[in-house]
């Protein structure tokens, strides 16, 4: 992100600067979303069908822009993103982002608790040693 934008590796700042018209930030955002979409499309080849997609982690949970751009790059899967639900689902909110009455693959945001998981795994390792 820093190399392409010339600004930062923080997605929040990249999005802000891309919206303000910064060419490097827009390029970084485009490449980031394209690489996610490309990976999803490639991985889908191993599935008998694609039932849905889940966005998680810092960017997946908090960036409606990234979610929108990624799904726009995958029109052939039939995702139907509800724009209002997409914009409203940030900061630890879980939600289904499909348009009403949509019957294709589902789109979800599911928050993670990475620190909690690390703590649980660490506790398990320590307990196994004692």
H/E/C letters for each residue in 42-93?
HHHCCCCCCCEEEECHHHHHHCHHHHHHHHHCCHHHCCCECHHHHHHCCCCC
**Cβ atoms within 10 Å of 130's Cβ, excluding its own:** 4
The H or E element that residue 95 is part of is strand 95-96
> What's the pTM?
0.85
Cα–Cα distance measured from residue 43 to residue 38, given in angstroms and rounded to the nearest whole number: 9
CB burial of residue 30 (10 Å; 0-12, 13-18, 19+)? middle
Q: pLDDT per residue over 74-98, tens digit each? A: 999 999 999 999 999 988 888 888 8
Query: Would you state the structure tokens that stand for residue 18, as one six-digit string?
Result: 């891309």
The length of the chain, given as a count of residues: 130
pLDDT of residue 93: 86
Q: Which CATH number fits domain 49-130: 3.30.450.20, 3.30.70.1290, 3.30.390.10, 3.30.420.40?
A: 3.30.420.40
Query: What's the mean pLDDT in 10-27?
Result: 96
Instruction: Provide the pLDDT confidence category of residue 31 given band limits of 50, 70 and 90.
Output: very high
């Amino acid at each position: 992100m820093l190399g392409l934008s010339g600004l930062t590796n923080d997605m929040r700042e990249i999005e802000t600067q891309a919206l303000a018209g910064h060419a490097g930030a827009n390029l970084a955002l485009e490449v980031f979303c394209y690489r996610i979409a490309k990976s999803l499309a490639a991985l889908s080849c191993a599935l008998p069908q694609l039932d849905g997609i889940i966005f998680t982690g810092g960017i997946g949970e908090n960036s409606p822009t990234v979610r929108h751009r990624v799904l726009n790059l995958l029109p052939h899967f039939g995702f139907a993103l509800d724009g209002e639900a997409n914009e409203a689902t940030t900061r630890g909110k879980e939600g289904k982002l499909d348009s009403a009455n949509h019957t294709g693959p589902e789109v979800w945001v599911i928050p993670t608790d990475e620190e909690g998981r690390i703590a649980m795994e660490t506790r398990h390792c320590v307990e196994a040693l004692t």
